[in-house]
Amino acid sequence: MAKFNPRKKEERLRVNEAIRARELRVLGAEGENFGVLGREEALSKAEEASLDLIEISPGTLPPVAKIADYGKFLYEQKKKAKEAKSKAKKTETKNVQVKIGTGEHDLELKAKKASEWLREGHRVKFDLYLRGRAKYMDKKFLEERMSRMLKLITEEYRVAVGPKNSPKGMTAILEKK
């Protein structure tokens, strides 16, 4: 037997006798509007149609109920939720890591890949990785090194989190404009 989970939509829906409201705005199986009916009258209409009375909008005054097959209704709800989830755009934060001594060609390749990710709609995190004494270099020099690499990106972007110090060195996060 499944445990009751108050957060699940399916278990919050009230059906037939579980509906507590005295008056309901009732919608028919074909989408017709029966208007505001008493609970007992709405239940009898649902019983005549051999269907269930499902409270679909309990927060309104009066609550809205629909006459429908409960199993089919749940199936449609799950189908809609799954479709909405699949259409939702998923963005990731991609990582590009360079060192102070990274060659010009390698910088171009990484910038090309970053441009591609920005075009796809992802965020790009640039890490200027500093080891040892490099962590204590002049901040203006490090920022110039970071901006030199950012200039190689062909896609339009905006800097979401500006060049700032991080435990590994210096970091900037870019987003598509």
Per-residue model confidence (pLDDT) at position 89: 74
Q: What is the pTM of this model?
A: 0.51
What CATH code would you report for 9-84? Answer: 3.10.20.80
Token pair recorded at residue 121: 């709609």
CATH number attached to the domain at 93-176: 3.30.110.10
Rounded distance between C-alpha atoms, residue 78 and residue 157, angstroms: 37
The per-residue pLDDT for range 57-80, each reduced to its tens digit, is: 888 888 999 999 989 989 999 999
What single-letter amino acid sits at 26?
A: V
Domain boundaries, the chain: 9-84, 93-176
26 pLDDT more than 80: yes
In tens, the pLDDT along 78-135 reads 999 998 888 877 778 999 999 988 888 999 999 999 999 999 889 999 999 988 888 8
CA distance 134 to 37: 77
Task: Report the C-alpha gap between 10 and 121 in whole angstroms.
Answer: 34
Res. 7: pLDDT tops 70: no
For residues 89 and 13, what is the distance between their CA atoms, to the nearest angstrom?
29
Q: How confident is the model at residue 148 (pLDDT cuts 50, 70, 90)?
A: confident
User: What per-residue confidence (pLDDT) applies to 166?
Assistant: 84
